[in-house]
Chains A and B, each alone.
Chain A
C-alpha cells in the first residue's frame, strides 16, 4: 500500500509540474481522481500492455471526464506508453498531449469528452465483449457533475437491463461542477439509491484512501453478481492543494507557475 501511496504523491507532483507549464489544464478535477488512477494501474486491477494498446486481453478503460485526466499523463509516461519527456510539452506546439486528451494519445481508448459519452460507449464495449464470450472488463470513469447529462442515464438503464457484470463504473464524486457545489445546482444525492434502483451493484469508498479504493475495486472486479458495478469514490476536488479544496470555483482556478514549487513542497 505504501508503494501506491508513494505513487499517488508522485502523480500529484507531476500533475502540478504539468500545470506549471500548461495553465490551461484543469488542475482541481485532475487531482481528485489521482488515487483511482494509481490503484487501477499500479495496483494490478487493470490488465494492460503499453507496447500494444490494442492488446485483445487488455481491460478497457474509458475516461469520460477527460478534462480531469491530466494526472493520468504521468502514469502513462511512467508505464511506458510514451516518453517521460512528452510531459514537458503538454499543450505546446507539436505535442500530442493537449488540455483535453484525444484518442491519438496511446492509452486512451476513446474520445474523453465532451461529458456524457463515455458510459454509453463503455456499455457497448461491455456487451460486445460478452457476446464474444471474453473475460475482459470495461472500466469507465465519470465525474459526478457529468451525471447531469441525460445520455448518462440512457446508458445506466441499458447497463442494468443487460446485466453488464463486466462493466465497472467509477464516479469521481468530488461534489463540485464548474460554477458551484453540485448540491447547490441540482442535488445528486442519494446517488447510491439511484443506481441501485437502476439494477446496479454499488460500493462507496473514500476515494483518497488507497486501501479502500483497492479493496473495493478488487471486489467489484471479482464479484460474481450479475449486475453492472459502481464505485462511488467520495473525493475532494483539488485534493492536495488546500486553496482548491475549499473553493467551489476550483474547476476553473489555476495555480500561478511561480507558486507551483511551494505547493509541491506542501503536498502530503
Chain B
C-alpha cells in the first residue's frame, strides 16, 4: 500500500456507500453539506439520503427520530456549526436520551482544528473535543488519516451509541497501512517507541508529530509517539501501560489547551493511574486565531509548528 493523499470524509463516505447495498438500516443525513463522493450516494440511495437544509439543529433531531426507529444514522455537516449550533440537541436527544434508548447516530463534523484555515475563527473547530467530551454516552473519533477513517465505518455500525466523528477537511497522506495491527477499540497506536519522552497527538497534529520524531531521530534523539484516535471511550489501562516507561509526556492538539481536550484527557489518565509523568501541553491558548494565512503559517504563529515543538522537546529533555 503506497502513501496516498486522500480526504477522510471521501474515504468514509465511499465505505458507507458500499455498505448501503447490503445494510438497509443505514441512512445518510446532511445539513446541505456535500463532498464529491457524496454525489453517487445521494443519487443511488435517494430514499436513504436526506438533506435537511442548512439546519443543524433539525439535522440532529431528525437523526434522533430515525435512530429511535432502529436505523443507523450519519449526520453530516461542518464541524463547528454542527457541534455548537446543535449542542443542546446533541446533549438532550443523543447524550441524555441514549441513557435509556439505543441511539446510533454518528455525527460527522468536517473541518477539525484549523482545516478551514483562511476562513477564520468562526470556521475553526478548536472547542469541539472539550465540549463533546463533557457529554456522557457519546464516543469521540479523531483520526489522523483516511485508513483509520475507513476502518471506523465498521465500528460506527456495530457500536450502537451516539458518536462524534471529527474529520480533517484537507487531503492528507495515510499514516497507516492495511497490514497494521490497528484496533479501533484500543483507541490509540504507538507509532514510535522512545526513551524518556513521548508525544501524544491526535488528528492533523500527528502528521506534524511524525516529522518531529523523524527529525529528532536523525539527531540521535529517540522519543515516543502515540496517535490517539478514540478520545472516548479511553482504555486507561492500555494507555497507561504504553505511557508507563516515560518520564515526560507532551500533548499536541489543534485545539484549546487547559479546557478539557486531549491534554486534559491525558492528565486524567496520569492521575487516575498514579503515573509520575510530567505533562506539557501544546495547543491554542485562551484566544481565537484571527490572523489570516495558511495552516502552517497559523501554526507557526501559535507554536504548533515543527520547529516550536522540537524546541519544547529539547528543552524538556534538558530538564532531566
Chain A interfacial positions (CB closer than 8 Å to B): 103-104, 109-111, 114, 116-117, 119-129, 131-132, 150-151, 154-155, 157-158
Contacts and interface: CB of A to CB of B under 8 A. Distances in A.
Nearest to A120: B61
Contact of A124 (B62, B88, B97): B62
B88 A132 contact: no
B217 interface: no
Contacts of B66: 124-125, 127-128
A82 B159 CA distance: 31
Contact of A120 (B47, B62, B69, B101): B62
Contacts of A124: 61-69
B100 A103 contact: yes
A154 B53 contact: yes
B93 interface: yes
Interface string B90-123: 0011001101110000000000000000000000
Given A110-B97, A111-B92, A151-B55, 4 more contacts: A110-B68, A121-B93, A127-B50, A128-B70
B93 A155 contact: no
Nearest to B96: A111
B89 A151 contact: yes
B307 to A, nearest CB: 46
Q: Do most interface residues of chain B lie in helix, strand or loop, or is the interface mixed?
A: helix
Interface string B67-94: 1111100000000000000001100110
Interface of B: 47-48, 50, 52-53, 55, 57-58, 60-71, 88-89, 92-93, 96-97, 99-101
Contacts of A132: 69
A3 B243 CA distance: 70
A114 B91 CA distance: 11
B250 to A, nearest CB: 40
Contacts of A128: 65-66, 68-71
A120 B68 contact: no
**What are the 7 A-B residue pairs with the smallest beta carbon separation, nearest first?**
A124-B65, A120-B61, A128-B69, A154-B58, A124-B62, A125-B65, A154-B55
A121 B62 CA distance: 5
B62 A117 contact: no
A158 B97 contact: no
Contact of B97 (A111, A122, A150): A111
A151 B58 contact: yes
A129 B69 CA distance: 7
Given A150-B57, A155-B61, A111 B93 contact: yes
Q: Which of B63, B71, B99, B100 has the most CB of A within 10 A?
A: B100
